[in-house]
Amino acid sequence: MQTPQIRDLWCWCLSGILLALIPNPSQVQAASDSLLSQTRGLQFLEDIQNAISSLAENVTPTVVNVSPIRSFGQTKNLPRQPRPNTPGSGSGVIIHEDGYIVTNNHVVGAGFEAEIRLSDRTTLMAEVVGRDPDTDLALLRVQVDRKLAAAKFGDSNQVKVGQWVLAVGNPFGLDRTVTLGVVSGIGRENMNLSRYENFIQTDASINPGNSGGPLFNLRGEVIGINTAIINFAQGIGFAIPSNMADRIVSQLKSGGKVVRGWLGVGIQPLTPELSAKFGVKDGKGILVNEVFEGNPAEIAGIKPGDIITQVGKETLESPNQLSRVVAAFGPGDEVQVQIVRDGQAMTLPVLLGIKKEKPIMTSLPPMQNGIDLGIDVSPITDDLADHFKIKDQEGILVTKVGRQSIAYSEGLREGDVIKEVNRAEVPTLSHFRDALENVRPGETVLLRILREGRAFFVVLKPES
């Protein structure tokens, strides 16, 4: 029989064991909160993952593979061939269910057609509706009997550094590759990639073959067209802002070309030393060093030595920015241009014009023997060499090719350089004429053509 002392000792030991086995309420609550927090954190990450996966699933059908058509030496009887290293020559994004596609100009090159492969692996031929080398954009269209999945442009003015973006393209032939990243910077210029630069920088992986593909925000809107990378760096890619692309595409769609506003001034950066000389305290603005006679700036009263500080609502900090802002307006638009002259600020209304391009088309006078190759040609001037990016200026430039001509069907294109006619060199227009004068009716003409540094021969049968 237990004594009271033994019984009390046993109860004390038992209560200690129970206390050791059963945590107190605060410990139980802490453990419960920790588990709940981990569960919520995991659920949050899974929600993000599911959202990105859903986004990728929704937008990838709008991305296409673009393969420019190779026309070197092609003939009517041979099938057209994409350039080497396809698939994966470039990417594009469908922006309208009727078959309009945006890509880079450098992807399609000088061709008039491109091969398009849709997400369902359907292959179609696309016509180049228009191109704009100054922004490196091109608009294509495929003829379809069904509605295609299409993406919409978002507002690139709302893009913020640090926001998540999704790049989709066909790098190295790997169709519809998706990469996730952030916007690393905005308003990037002076990259020497195009004439009008205002790039979005991103660390979403962009590789060869991504060019022309879309950069999406998390809403699935296109906020940029991927265009370039820095080869010696990782995680530095550039995209053309969607607002710029949208303006260019609208003009290409309606008229096949882009027409920009023109101010008519020569400009240079405003250094601290120049700022002090011209009385600009904050150092912001663009120095006018030349005003072209008869152009909008002169008519409006702008003079050499003026500092342009603002055009419309945009404050200016670089010459590239001024060119881009003015180009965003159309000919005939009136803009308010703020300047500083002799330390005094003033605003001048300017009616923008259109840049007068020097003629680039020179028709060959009719041959006495009635030969017609279906092309217009010209000597290679410095302006033409710059326009067509020609390094070797010896030869005759093809400035126009009739779409229904034998020359077009045999692969000749605008910008080609004719080096020989029937194995005779033609360094001048006179030599070219003489060579054709020797061709008898019914005879064929052998041309040696130089295009993008590569030479090839073409045989034409002139039309009478």
Contact between 433 and 364 under an 8 Å Cβ cutoff? The reply is yes
364, 376 Cβ separation under 8 angstroms? yes
Mark whether 106 and 236 lie in a shared domain.
yes
Distance of CA 113 to the CA centre of its chain: 18
For residue 38, pLDDT over 90 is answered with no
* Domain match, 292 and 217 both: no
Asked if 82 and 205 sit in the same domain, the reply is yes
**Residue 204 and residue 318 in one domain:** no
Residue 10 identity (one-letter amino acid): W
The reply to whether 41 and 64 lie within a common domain is: yes
CATH code for the domain in which residue 389 is found: 2.30.42.10
- Considering the domain architecture, whether residues 227 and 87 belong to the same structural domain is answered as yes
The residues annotated as belonging to the active site are 106, 136, 211
Q: Which of these three, 301, 324, 354, is where a domain ends? A: 354
Domain that holds residue 186: 25-258
Band of pLDDT at residue 157, cut at 50, 70 and 90: very high
Q: Does a structural domain hold residue 337?
A: yes
Binned at pLDDT 50, 70 and 90, residue 191 comes out as confident
CATH number of the domain where residue 213 is located: 2.40.10.120
**Which of 237, 258, 279 is the last residue in one of the domains?**
258
In a domain, 367, yes or no: no
Looking at the fold, whether 391 and 320 belong to one and the same domain comes out as no
Q: Are 200 and 161 in contact (CB under 8 A)?
A: no
Q: Give yes or no: residues 248 and 344 share one domain.
A: no
What pLDDT does residue 75 have?
A: 38
Residue 364: per-residue pLDDT: 47
Q: Looking at residues 418-422, what average pLDDT do you find?
A: 89
Residue with tokens 């150092």: 283
In this prediction, residue 176 carries a pLDDT of: 82
Q: How far apart are CA 424 and CA 422, in angstroms?
A: 6
Task: Please list the helix, strand and coil fractions of the chain in percent, rounded to the nearest 5, in that order.
Answer: 25, 35, 40
In terms of residues, how long is the chain? Answer: 464
| Residues 367-380 pLDDT 10s | 445 567 888 888 88
Residues near 405 by Cβ (< 8 Å), separated by ≥ 6?
373, 374, 375, 463
Structural domain total, the chain: 3
For the CA atoms of 299, 302, 308, 313, the dihedral, rounded to the nearest 10 degrees, stands at -40
For residue 92, is it within any domain? yes
**pTM of the predicted model as reported, rounded to 2 decimal places:** 0.65
pLDDT at 33: 64
The pLDDT confidence band at residue 365, using thresholds 50, 70 and 90, is: very low
